[in-house]
Every structure is written in structure tokens, then in C-alpha cells.
Amino acid sequence: MSIKTDNLLTKGLAVGYAGTQKPKLVERVGFTGASNHFVSSNGTYHDEWFADKNGGGQELVIAGKESATRLYGGGVSSTEELTQLGLTAGDVIQRLIVSVQQLGGKTRLHEPCSLELPDGWRYVYTILKKSEKVPLTIGYESILYNGREVFAHGHILSSIK
């Protein structure tokens, strides 16, 4: 991983999932998912995910001669649990998007961070494992509502060589 690939992961996510770019439908071996693609003078970003409330995806970036990937999986708590809390999956995803927008390059990379949101919401990204010998970072992202986890994603970041 490098600053160039990290910046491209951050920019692509900001333009795509957490931004205004409308995702395109994508088919992969019988699975229907969504995809965002972003090209700039700094490189290429591509994201494909297969999820409604739960699932996963993969982001790929190429910046010059450097490439990296970020895989992710997880999702939102059950409808029953959310209903007990007076929430919908949409409420949770909105907090995810706001958190990613506000934190930008501080989250989903190699360092922990958190964000207090109004009305009992909190976003937390922790690092579970980091290896310098093998360029690998494993992170855990969660959203809490009044102290109860209502969203979780695992993240794996690695160079592609």
C-alpha cells in the first residue's frame, strides 16, 4: 500500500458509494451487484459490491505502477432488531455515508478513528492486525446506536503485486 493508492481508495469511495455517482448494475457468475468506476489523473478506482443489507465487495485501484485492493463484508443488523430500536436499514446506511464523508482519508485505511454523531450515533473503525512484512491491514468498522452495534464491516487492505 502507498499514499497514492490510499488516496485513490479514499477519493473513489467519496465520489462513488459515499458520493453522487449512481452505481451501475453488474453481473458476476449469476450474482447481480452494483459497481462504481472512477478515473482521474491520479489513477483508476473500481468498486463492485453484492449486498442489500448484508454482503460484501471489493475495491481495486491502480495509481501509476502501484495497485491495491480493499475487500469488505458485513452489513446491517436484522430487521427485527432495528425495529425494536425504532430504526430502518436506511437510517443506518445514511449514518455510514455521513461518517465516510466526514472522516474521508481517516477511515477504512491503516489507522483507527471514530466519530460521534448526533442523537446517540457513533462510528468506530479499529485495526485488528497490521503486517509490514506482508503489506496487509485488517480493520473492523462499526456503527453504534445508543451503544448497540447496528452495523459491522470487516476490511482487508493489501497491495497487489
Q: What is the DSSP string of 54-80?
A: EEEEEEEEEETTEEEEEEEEEEEPPHH
**135 neighbors 110 (Cβ within 8 angstroms):** no
Angle at 42 between CA 41 and CA 47, to 5 degrees: 105
Per-residue pLDDT of the chain (161 residues; tens, 9 = 90+): 899 999 999 999 998 888 888 999 999 999 999 999 999 999 999 999 998 889 999 999 999 999 999 999 999 999 999 999 999 999 999 999 999 999 999 999 999 999 999 999 999 999 999 998 999 999 999 999 999 999 999 999 999 99
Output the pTM of the full model.
0.93
Q: Where are the beta strands (DSSP E) in 4-160?
A: 24-28, 31-40, 43-51, 54-63, 66-76, 113-117, 121-131, 136-145, 148-160
Q: What is the C-alpha separation between 96 and 158, in angstroms, rounded?
A: 23
User: Pairing mode, if any, of strands 113-117 and 66-76?
Assistant: unpaired
Q: What residue ranges do the domains of the chain occupy?
A: 3-160
Closest CA to 18 of 88, 121, 123: 123
Q: Which three cell numbers stand for residue 82?
A: 432495528
In this prediction, residue 39 carries a pLDDT of 95
Rounded to the nearest angstrom, the gap between the alpha carbon of residue 120 and the centroid of all alpha carbons in its chain is 22
